[in-house]
Structure formats: C-alpha cells, structure tokens
Structure 1
Amino acid sequence: MPVSFSTSAVFHRFLPFLAVLGSVTALGIGTSWAKHWLFPAVGAQGTTALRVGFSALLVLLLWRPWRWHLSRADAKSVVLYGAALGGMNLMFYMSLRTLPFGLAVAIEFAGPLAVAIWSSRRAVDFVWVLLAIAGLGLLLPLGLNGSMLDPVGVAYALGAAVFWALYIVFGKRAGHLHAGHSVSLGLLVAALVVVPVGVAHAGAALLSPSLLLIGVAVAAVSSAVPISLEMMALKRLPKEAFGIMISMEPAVAALVAMVLLGEHLSAVQWLAIGCIMAASMGSALTARAPAAPGAAPQPA
C-alpha cells in the first residue's frame, strides 16, 4: 500500500523547530544591527535603552497587560523578574563593546546552565558541568591558555550570566501568569531600569530620528519576533526539546556575527562554543524538571 505523503503535515511537524531557529536567528540579526549601527552613536548603554525601551512599548501594545489582574505578590515577582531582565541586557551589551558576539553569548549561557544543574546531584549532570567548565576555560582570560579576550568584557558577560540565572529563578515565580502578561510587564520594569542609564550616558543623541528608527527595528527583530516565535514553539515542543534547540544560540550568534560584523573566531574559540552548547543540550536532554536551559524565552 503506498504511503501517503503530506507536505502540510511535514511542515506542521517541523514548524516548532523552525520557529526556534527563526527566534535565535532574529535575535542574532537584531543584536548585530545594534552593535554595528547604534554602538558608535550612543554606546552600549544608549543601545540598551533604545532596544529595551522600544521592546517594552511594542510588547505592551501587543499584549495590553492592564487587562489582567495582578496581585501584590505577583507584582513583586514581576518587578524582580523585570529588574533581572534589565540588568542582563545592560551587562550583555556592555560585554559586546570588547567581545565577539558569539563568545559573549557562550559565556552568558553559564547562567541558565547553573540554574538547570544546581538542584541535581546525578552523575550525568557532572558531565555537563565539566563540559561547561572546559568551554569556559578555553574562553576566560585565566592566564593558562593565552586568551586575548578583554577581562572587563568577560566580567560583563559573566554578570549577564548571573542576571540570566536570576531572570529564570524570578521568572518561575511569575510562571503561573499568562506569558504575555508577565513578559510585557517584565519588559516595562526592565526599561525603567536601563533607560535612565542610557539617557545619562548618551543624552540628547538618543532623540536622533534615524537612531530612533533603527532602535525600533532592533527592538522588533531582537525582542518582539523572538518572543513570539518562542511562545509558539513552547506550545508545541516538550521543554527538553525546546532547551536543546535553544542551545544552538551561541553558534548561530557566532555565524551571524561573522557574516554581518566580520567577527571571525579561532578554532579554539569554536571548540569552546561547542563544549558549552553540548553541556546545554545534554543538560536539557537529561533534565527531570521542566527548567531546562532556555526553557524560559531568551530575552537578551
């Protein structure tokens, strides 16, 4: 009996995976645009203000969170979640001043990896810990490997990793809220955290019409599009599969930066990214709890 083949069925089967790939690619493109067009004009602080500020406006208009009730306890969780989100974005963009995009993302992944492995004592999880340590050891300027990475940039990337871990922890507390509700209010809090920093640094330069247009484009491509695609994928994928897919981000970021920014990495740096990705994928694959790396939408 001939096997029936439906192009539509195949497309719908692979749609969640395409959504995750589209999310990490859009995030890489938007961040590369920000580094190329906005950094020279308003610095990392001003870039963060434009990106997060316009992201908050776009997501607020999309979800209109004022339609939902918010208890006092939930409001506290959202404030902590949003503050961590703002700190993570600021630290990450500060790291991009001196670090290649792909390497900054790889170092930042230490945050969700630490959260995923922290509560586990299974032997297999120590394999992922060792892989992550090996990857970070190849990147961090410890004086052991001849790394030329800027120590200040690495410190900012590690700071972003800490804030990403806090973002996941606080995000779980608000996890019972509708995703559009928590994400939109969280971005609003994040904007209240980083916009004053950007204004203090860049001042009136942030009001340039051309930069405002670029800021809107960056916010749409690096926030609104990824968040929407990830929410679509999370509805159709197991958390573990989503965590494995989102672990592609360091490699995708490095490839996008190579094409758009001309940032070429050495073989050792690619090996480091591979180790960190393998640790993230392995942790997601073997996780018992739903909190795999990247299980929360990646907001950076």
Structure 2
Amino acid sequence: MTDFALDDPFDRSRSRVPGPGSLIRTAADSIPPSGLVLLAIFSVQLGAGFAKELFSALPPSAVVFLRIAAGALIIGAVARPKLRGLSWRDWAVGVGFGVTLAVMNLTFYEALARLPLGVAVAIEFLGPLSIAVAASRRRLDLLWVGLAGAGVALLAPWGQSSTVSWAGIAFALVAGACWAGYILLSAAAGSRFPGATGLSFAMIVSAVVIAPVGITTGGADLLQPELLLIGLGVGLLSSVIPYSLELQALRRMPKHVFGILMSVEPAVAALIGLVVLGEILHAQQWAAIVCIVLASLGSTRTSKSL
C-alpha cells in the first residue's frame, strides 16, 4: 500500500480494500469517475442514515459494533492480514490504527444520536481540514480556518437551538480528531503492511476493541435477525461499497479532484438527513455547513498548489 497523501486528506480510499468482486468493477467502468465519488458519498451517508434509524432499537455503541464487525468480516475475507513476521512497531501501528478507528466510529455515532446528520458530518470534517491546513502552511489558510470557525460558531447551541447539543458537538469534534489520526496512521500502516492488509488488520482490532461495549449495551437484541441484516447493510453501505467505488475513481482521476468532490460530503449528509430521517435544518445551520464545505474546498485547492 502506498503512503497516504497528506496533501489530499479527504482521499479516504488510499488505505481501503479492492472491490468485493468483478461486478462492481465492471459496473464502475461505465460510470464517470466523478459519478463514482458521488455514489460513494451517498452510500456512506445513506449508511449513516440507516444506522441512525437503528438507534430506536439499539444504542449507538451496539450499532457501531454491528457496522464494524460486518466490515471486518467482509474486508478480512478479501484482504486477510498476515501476522507472521510483524515487528513490535508494526503491531503498535496496526493496533493504534484499529483503536483510532473504533473510537472514531463510536464518537461519531454518539454525535449522530445528538445532532442532525448534516451537522455531525460537518463538524467531523474539521479533522481532515486541520490536516490539510497543517500541510499547506500558507497565509491563505487563515481564511479556511476562519470559515471553519464561523461554521462551528453558527452550529453551536447558544441557547436557541433544540436540535444541537454541546455534548453532540464534543463527540463530533473527538470523531474529527480521530479522523485526523486515522489519516496519519493509515500512512504509517501503508508503509508497514502490504496491500490492503493494514486496513484489514485495523478493522479486526477495531471490532475486538468495540465488542465488549457493543455486546454489553446491545444484549440479546443483537441476535435479532432483522437487526443483524440491517447492521450488515450499514456495514456494506458505509464501508465496502464506498471503499470499492472510491478506489475505482482514484484510478481514473487526479487525487486533488477527488479531494474537491469529497468536500461536498457535509452537504450530501444534510440532504440524506432530510430525505431519510426527516431532519429539517435551519437557515443558520445550512449557512454553517456551507462555511465548512467552502473551507474544505479551499484547503484542498491550496494543498494542490504545494
């Protein structure tokens, strides 16, 4: 696996697995690469929407366990990690990668339980945005930092918002910080694990880490066939399908274009939240999402020029 490109922190598929079969690759060949990226974004956010629907039957930690376990089973079957010959540094990177992945997903789902989908994704995007700004080191970056800060200020519940909570914002910020750590650790894993086995190793570690919490909070409800099937669907929509589509897109388009397209994800999340979950955002919340999207777009274009 090649190193994760710090000049394109929204490139999430550099550490992801190949497509699960030739059918996806064949279908992807007939779709423009920009269409593949948009389909991947819609898939991720649709998975998040279905996951939030599960919160009425299971706590967020149990839903996270279902998602990660499903992803680990599928990805582990495609790219089985080899444990022989790993040094203690390899183990440290792989375990750290997995723990970060577990915490990122858990805190994001906890944020999702307290915030509208579009708001949670917008705040989480501050993680990769911080990586882009740190890698760029230009005065223009102050504009993107200011836009992002304005977005968060607009989203904060200054006593008048009933759909946003400080706890939700805190969870989303932790998820964003973990996303930034995920970017850095994926680069380290890429230099130590062949192919996609670094991500496979991390997914298995993540499933092991989250299992005690997820099983304890989910209890016997986790064994309901309907919930298991929905959890499998969330894993497919949130992990396997978008990973495959993004990988196919990156083979046919420049990374900076991929990063620019990825920047619209908070807006797509807000639309999915409206259609799937019935979450109607206020004008102020839409303005905040626009600020964060513009900051992401600007930081990505700045990174390209370095």
Query: Is residue 2:187 matched to residue 1:172?
Result: yes
Q: Deviations over 1:170-197 (max 9, x none)?
A: 1111123445212211111111121211
Query: Residue 24 of structure 1 aligns with which residue?
Result: 41
Aligned 8 A contact 2:102 2:206 in 1: yes
Is this contact kept in 2: 1:138–1:147, CA < 8 A?
no
Identity between Structure 1 and Structure 2 (%): 44
1:147 CA drift (Å)? 3.9
Q: Do structure 1's residue 284 and structure 2's residue 300 form an aligned pair?
A: yes
Task: Indicate which of 184, 187, 207 corresponds to 2:223.
Answer: 207
Structure 1 segment 42-81 matched on structure 2, within 5 A: 42-66=58-82, 70-81=86-97
> Is the partner of 1:195 in helix, strand or coil?
helix
Structure with bigger RCO (C-alpha 8 Å, 6+ apart): 2
Letter in 2 for 1:172: A
1:277, distance to aligned residue in structure 2 (A): 0.6
Aligned length: 277
CA contact (8 A) 2:135 2:303 kept: no
1:118 Cα offset (Å): 1.9
User: How far does residue 64 in structure 1 lie from its aligned partner after superposition?
Assistant: 2.4
Name the SS for the 2:279 alignment partner: coil
Give the aligned partner of residue 19 of structure 2: none
Q: CA deviation at 1:233?
A: 2.0
TM-score (norm 1): 0.86
| 1:296 alignment counterpart | none
Out of 162, 171, 191, the position equivalent to 2:177 is 162
2:172 is paired with a residue of what secondary structure?
A: helix
Q: What is the alpha-carbon root mean square deviation over aligned residues? A: 2.1
Quick one: distance in 1 between partners of 2:194 and 2:240?
A: 16
Which residue is equivalent to 2:242? Answer: 226
Give distance in 2, aligned partners of 1:287 and 1:95. Answer: 29
2:134 matched residue in structure 1: 118
Cα distance in 1 for residues equivalent to 2:89 and 2:33: 33
Q: Distance in 1 between matches of 2:207 and 2:183?
A: 18
Unaligned runs of 5+ in 2: 1-27
Cα distance in structure 2, aligned partners of 1:68 and 1:248: 41
Asked if 1 retains the 8 angstrom alpha-carbon contact of 2:50 and 2:234, the reply is yes
Compute the displacement of 1:69 (Å).
6.2
Q: Does the CA-based 8 Å contact 1:48-1:195 persist in structure 2?
A: no
Distance 1:19 1:68 in 2: 36
- Counterpart pick for 1:181 among 183, 194, 197: 197
Q: Which structure 2 residues correspond to residues 91-102 of structure 1 after superposition, within 5 A?
A: 91-102=107-118
Using the size of structure 2 for normalisation, the TM-score is 0.85
Between the aligned partners of 1:68 and 1:279, the Cα distance in structure 2 is 44
Q: Cα deviation per residue 1:241-289 (whole Å; 9 max; x = unaligned)?
A: 1111111111111111111110111111111111101111111111058
User: Are 1:86 and 2:102 counterparts?
Assistant: yes
Q: Secondary structure at the match of 1:66?
A: coil
The AA in structure 2 aligned to 1:26 is: S
- Please say if 1:129 is aligned against 2:145: yes
Any idea what the Cα deviations from partners look like across 1:8-58, whole Å, max 9, x if unmatched?
Answer: xxx96962211110111001111111111x211111011001011111101
**Deviation at residue 77 of structure 1 after TM alignment:** 1.4
Cα separation, 2, equivalents of 1:20 and 1:276:
19
Is contact 1:85–1:186 with CA below 8 Å preserved after alignment? yes
Alignment of 1:236 with 2:246, yes or no, is: no
The verdict on how the C-alpha distance between 1:84 and 1:289 changes in structure 2, with shifts beyond 3 A counting, is farther
- Please, which runs of 5 or more residues in structure 1 have no aligned partner? 1-10, 291-300
Q: Is the contact made by 2:111 and 2:168 (CA closer than 8 Å) also made in structure 1?
A: yes
Match of 1:151 in 2: 166
